[in-house]
Structure 1
Amino acid sequence: MMQGSLTELDAVLMVARHGKFRTAALELGLSTTALSNAVGKLERTLGVRLFNRTTRSVSLTEAGQQFVAQVAPALRDIHEAMEVVRSQKATPSGTLRINAFPTAAREIFSWLVLPFLRMYPKVHIDIVTEGRLVDIVAGGFDLGVRSADLVPVDMIALPLGGGRRNVVVATPRYLKAHGIPVMPQDLAGHSCLRVRLPNGTIYRWPFEKDGQSVHIAVEGPITLDEASLARAAALASIGLTLAMESDVRDDIEAGRLVRVLEDWTPALPPLSLYYPSRRNPTAAFKAFVDFARRQA
């Protein structure tokens, strides 16, 4: 297949994935004009319109939906085959795209991603963090990182690390002024940092002890959707926060934050690196999976 044809197919699939020409063009490293021209050229070749275009949105036509559904798997195989040929050299290279929950990405970043890049400097890693479950195949990702209990059953999963847990923490100053909660229900009398989920709902803090589980709808002066902001607010003695232990471990060890309700925060499932079965994995892909297996 001619390179020009591949470019046009890539252009169509990328616009279909993002729903925006500008975003698709940035990911492909093209100008918006060049991308639009590539899509238009393929539409003229096919004699059918693949996208409905307005000044505010881009959506697939019915013919476009059918075309993308049939072409996407074949184009993925073509790119994999080409990458395998390119990677038949001693040093792994190319791009690996990884999708992960933000907390999962933070947990693996320092002990897995950065050491891998130091060992394989010709590999580029593109990490996309999202709070929702994503179909990594449809999204064009090579790998995903999620809690083991959320990995789709049709994926190959590699456990990463040991147990994880949530912790409830606050500064010594806050606890001295407001007291220490000993039961989850005590949080009703405390200032808590609320977390908004990607779907817009407010996260209810989960607790469990001796087979008894409870979810608390906390109240407080601020609602956030970013863990680093919640940590900053907690360190400023604004209130209690529920955090991943790995995000605040240094603060706990240094005495800046204190854990409470420890017996109500049991271990969570470990993380897993997961991916679909691949007939022709690239050298970079194999190197990353092997490295993760050794590190885990």
Structure 2
Amino acid sequence: MLRALQDLQIFVATARQGNLSSVARAMNLTPAATSAAIKRLELQLGAPLFVRSTRSLRLTKDGEHYLQYCEQALLQLELGENLLRSGREALQGKLHLSLPSDLGRNLLAPLLDGFMAAHPQVELRLQMSDHLTNIYRQPVDLVIRYGQPPDSALIALPLRPENDRVLCAAPDYIARYGTPTHPQELYRHNCLCFMLADTVHDHWRFTRAEEFISVKVKGDRVADDGDMVRRWAIAGDGIAYKSRLDITADLAAGRLLQLCPDWQGEAAPLYMLLPDRRQLTPLIKALRSHLLQYLPQRPV
């Protein structure tokens, strides 16, 4: 029974990260053990869960469907464990959070559902926006944002400090317009840009070894909502430059493909921001621990 549970944990972690080696390291297992776990599940189910290539894994349609049930099952087990551990010291109170649109809707919202299920006395209020939140003036307990905090007085707790940006496009776009092999070739392509506070982010920066380049891009679509840029990319409307966290599931499922993988995108560290360390309550500490456990990690 314990091995079967670990096999499910390995499958979910592999689906999130798309890399068996990084999952093996995180779980203190050998790559052979993680591969054997996936094979046992596929044999038991009588269906392949991943399409394998020399560089990565991506979910099959059966794998995508099975992943939803596995995540719910593991969340229910976590709920039971947390209830047993918490005993009479159940977490309670209100949480007012400000989250980025794409990350909030597509990745953090399901994780928050799991946290609320584990702590039923917690109440949640969300502000979902890519616009910068004034944490001192608006009624929020904490803000989750990409990038170094603009105010050095803020308490910045790292969630995924190693996160970066990824050049990506849908298979349909690549089939129609070809694959750029170097960032300098982006001038030939329709690039989907993000806008914040009336500033269009159309200078995309990349590094490779000691080489650094900044590419001025253009395209027919600009949005001040990161989720909209991601949806355009999945629809095959152009090339996007997205946070890896935002598109981890899309890369694993093959909805988006990473382009120019030999070039490193800009750093996009994810932080939890608080106005004062005294607001680091047991409830917020528990939420951070939950996110640290379940947020996808950058493949190595």
TM-score, normalised via structure 2 length: 0.58
Q: What SS does structure 1 have at the residue aligned with 2:120?
A: coil
- Cα deviation per residue 1:130-165 (whole Å; 9 max; x = unaligned)? 334333122232112223622633233322145212
Query: Does structure 1 residue 233 correspond to structure 2 residue 229?
Result: no
Take 1:291 and 1:233, find their aligned partners in 2: how far apart are those partners?
Answer: 31
5 Å matches for 1:30-69? none
Take 2:157 and 2:269, find their aligned partners in 1: how far apart are those partners?
Answer: 10
Counterpart position of 2:96: 97
Counterpart position of 2:126: 127
Q: CA deviation at 1:187?
A: 0.5
Q: Is the 8 A contact 2:101 2:227 kept in 1?
A: no
Q: Is the 8 A contact 1:104 1:145 kept in 2?
A: no
**1:239 to 1:274, Cα distance in 2 relative to 1, 3 A:** closer
Counterpart position of 1:155: 154
Counterpart position of 2:284: 288
Q: CA deviation at 1:189?
A: 0.7
Q: Is the 8 A contact 2:191 2:220 kept in 1?
A: yes
Q: What SS does structure 1 have at the residue aligned with 2:181?
A: coil
- Cα deviation per residue 1:157-212 (whole Å; 9 max; x = unaligned)? 32214521211222233223322112222011112222222324344322222343
Q: What SS does structure 1 have at the residue aligned with 2:135?
A: coil
Q: Is the 8 A contact 1:100 1:144 kept in 2?
A: yes
- Cα deviation per residue 1:57-101 (whole Å; 9 max; x = unaligned)? xxxxxxxxxxxxxxxxxxxxxxxxxxxxxxxx9544332212233
5 Å matches for 1:242-281? 242-266=241-265, 268-277=267-276
Q: CA deviation at 1:124?
A: 1.6
Which runs of 5 or more residues in structure 2 are unaligned? 1-87, 293-300
Counterpart position of 1:141: 140
Q: Is the 8 A contact 1:116 1:288 kept in 2?
A: no
Take 1:187 and 1:102, find their aligned partners in 2: how far apart are those partners?
Answer: 26
Take 2:105 and 2:267, find their aligned partners in 1: how far apart are those partners?
Answer: 16
- Cα deviation per residue 1:222-254 (whole Å; 9 max; x = unaligned)? 222323332332233222122222332233223
Counterpart position of 1:219: 218
Q: Is the 8 A contact 1:197 1:203 kept in 2?
A: no
Q: CA deviation at 1:109?
A: 1.1
Q: CA deviation at 1:106?
A: 4.8
Query: Does structure 1 residue 114 correspond to structure 2 residue 113?
Result: yes
Query: Does structure 1 residue 169 correspond to structure 2 residue 168?
Result: yes
Q: CA deviation at 1:289?
A: 1.6
Take 2:192 and 2:107, find their aligned partners in 1: how far apart are those partners?
Answer: 25
Take 1:121 and 1:176, find their aligned partners in 2: how far apart are those partners?
Answer: 48
Take 1:232 and 1:277, find their aligned partners in 2: how far apart are those partners?
Answer: 36
Take 2:106 and 2:157, find their aligned partners in 1: how far apart are those partners?
Answer: 15
Counterpart position of 1:6: none
Take 1:266 and 1:210, find their aligned partners in 2: how far apart are those partners?
Answer: 12
**How many residue pairs are counted as aligned between the two chains?**
205
**1:115 to 1:267, Cα distance in 2 relative to 1, 3 A:** farther
**1:105 to 1:194, Cα distance in 2 relative to 1, 3 A:** same
Take 2:219 and 2:266, find their aligned partners in 1: how far apart are those partners?
Answer: 26
Q: What SS does structure 1 have at the residue aligned with 2:148?
A: helix
Q: Which amino acid letter does the alignment assign opposite residue 243 of structure 2?
A: M
Which runs of 5 or more residues in structure 1 are unaligned? 1-88
Counterpart position of 2:48: none
Q: Is the 8 A contact 1:145 1:272 kept in 2?
A: yes
Counterpart position of 1:43: none
Take 1:216 and 1:234, find their aligned partners in 2: how far apart are those partners?
Answer: 19
Take 2:187 and 2:205, find their aligned partners in 1: how far apart are those partners?
Answer: 14
Take 1:168 and 1:221, find their aligned partners in 2: how far apart are those partners?
Answer: 17
Larger CA deviation: 164-173 vs 203-212: 203-212
Take 1:104 and 1:256, find their aligned partners in 2: how far apart are those partners?
Answer: 17
TM-score, normalised via structure 1 length: 0.59
Q: What SS does structure 2 have at the residue aligned with 1:97?
A: strand
Q: Is the 8 A contact 2:97 2:142 kept in 1?
A: yes
